[in-house]
Structure 1
């Protein structure tokens, strides 16, 4: 969190994934520190730099947590608040894959989508209103109506720098076979499981590059009926959000045909991935054994 700011004496939360440390502070102290980082950064950067971008997905849920800092900064700088909102069917599916399977963020057995999504309401309008209460220059865009979010952001807000910025894709959902392995691995634990326990092995062994499409792997993933049920439960919020988009000249979420992306795989692909991982580890172990044998021989 703001770990790249040119702070002479960085605060404890100015590190990668420092949002948690920031939340651990007293709200008044946290906002005073945040404002000081904004001011110090502005003073230290060259005068030809006229725009600074702070992007943090956790901010959408936490307007009140940074409100006093943003309001104080608005008296010094011209602040523009922008955000991108995903359609609920795509969002809840992606969220389940991340927080329900890849990062097992709850205790107990691994939950299928229909159970996990029961506690995940689609609450957007209240958060938009929280941000609107802070500043006047604010706009939330329909994420799914835009092809390339990075290009859209650059064109809309940084037109002078667009030619010098090459967008990169990051944090994409792993291939289906990798997600299946996350599910099987995480099902071994009754507690929470971080992705970092398995992710390095999947990455090093090439599983993340394995993009073949599968037909089925189990019944945990959401189907069209599940997603339709979710949309019905959150229909009031969706109606309000579409009204917001219409009032701000944005395309509405057209949910007549829910998007239910197929993340399935099959046992043959899973077995092949496991064999690939075992082969990778076997080569690593053999290489280490040879090095150890060479060192032992040399010492003799």
Structure 2
């Protein structure tokens, strides 16, 4: 985990959530996901290390250090200990074989690179970096860095994606990608054009890393609730329901990027929505 704190008011993060929805579920939302005394949603920045088919796979890379992020004051010029935390988990940068960026937002690609003598270079020198082609197209220069909506989008592309491409380590994919016999990537659009999920299947174990398909458990209770960061909230809601239906039916462990606590949940169908089991 790179960071955890109260982030924004609960209904600012999930605008479609009902006013009383957080209070009605306070017994399990607090304190890992919500602080009732201030009505602030709690957000974490998590990366995940997987060992699969003899390789080390890193899922999402957080904010990074020394980034110019004027639209995101909490992460602007941040300095943290992400690499030390990886080392504590027994992973050196050169040990990483595959980096998965579930989508191209600044809090998922930041540690793709690091600053060495004023130049951004790949943090993981031996890794393939897997990025959805749709996000590369949308947030890259061909589309004006996300249509010029935020200055951060150009900055993060230039410091966290372009150096990977120049190093020959960037691999764009579309329509799905089989990484190995246990791991596969699938499109899950809506949050961003190329937003994706990573599925794990090993024996009877099932898990799905959903990136920003979920920011808060209240979106499990009602998957029509998109976050304030979803570029296409309607498509995101459709995708969210599809992914949760499969997770409930196949008993997949759901692992979002920003949940507090253990960071993972099991879901079950409940009426027209779902519940955390």
Is TM more than 0.5 here? no
Choose between structure 1 and 2 for higher RCO, CA contacts under 8 A separated by at least 6 residues.
1
TM, length-normalised to structure 1: 0.28
- Larger fraction in strand: 2
